[in-house]
Structure 1
């Protein structure tokens, strides 16, 4: 009997009071990413570069409250403008731990529903740390979208 461990995944659902075009731009435009990216307590976004095309690369970097600098990068796997964005994710410090992030954007009245999926994770602690980070990032994104572009 084969012992199978299901991949650890993180799923988040958020609704933003902004049209899908603005939410998409927040995830894909470097200038927009510079305004919100990072977990709660992010002091400053240091870097945001995107080539939003299949096979295109991106990288982001930010400073957290403890002064630590964190960088992540990857490549876009699927790009369906205003609908779906799929990209690999790896931290500079742990490049061997690659996961896949899938974002699905859906018009929800005058706002946007965003479905977020990231998998796999090496263990539950890593997944839980990402859940905390991404939840804070979604709050920062909501604040950015509530302001003027």
Structure 2
């Protein structure tokens, strides 16, 4: 992985992370469209994910948990808003109760885009927060660092 940049914009309530991979766009797309591949990198090293529901279509949902080293689970949910095959995925996302039901609190929106250039794929993940409070809370919890660490696992998947 070539890490390009990570940018926080408090005025726009966004966090943008840009990476680039030695793989065609269709292959990088599979890392998102196949839940078994997604499980291999969604979450920082040592926090493996399990997707229990994965309805990969507009209006579909996903529920997952990350296994925490202390034995607990951190649950999350997605609602697929837009899917443009090999180009773009938009999901609303948030924390979930055990079992995957959305927890109370604000949802964010994550957009992943994929641009191929000379056989390499640039992936941009834009997280839009619902409020300054949500942005501050998630960044304090390590969202930026965790996402960058998670993305370091992608090269091994692409090579395998």
Q: Which residue of structure 2 lines up, in the alignment, with residue 110 of structure 1?
A: 119
TM-score w.r.t. structure 1 length?
A: 0.84
> Are 2:72 and 1:64 equivalent residues in the alignment?
no
CA contact (8 A) 1:87 1:100 kept: yes
Gaps of 5+ in 1: none
Q: Any idea what the Cα deviations from partners look like across 1:98-131, whole Å, max 9, x if unmatched? A: 1000001000211210011001151424225210
| Residue of structure 2 aligned with 1:97, choices 106, 112, 135 | 106
TM-score w.r.t. structure 2 length?
A: 0.79
Gaps of 5+ in 2: 1-9, 98-102
Alpha-carbon deviation of 1:64?
2.7
| Residue of structure 1 aligned with 2:151, choices 138, 143, 147 | 138
RCO higher in 1 or 2 (8 Å CA, sep ≥ 6)? Answer: 1
Partner of 2:46, secondary structure, is: coil
Number of equivalenced pairs: 142
Where do residues 1-149 of structure 1 align in structure 2 (5 Å cutoff)? 6-42=11-47, 44-93=48-97, 94-120=103-129, 122-128=134-140, 129-147=142-160
Which piece of structure 1 moves more, 102-111 or 67-76? 67-76
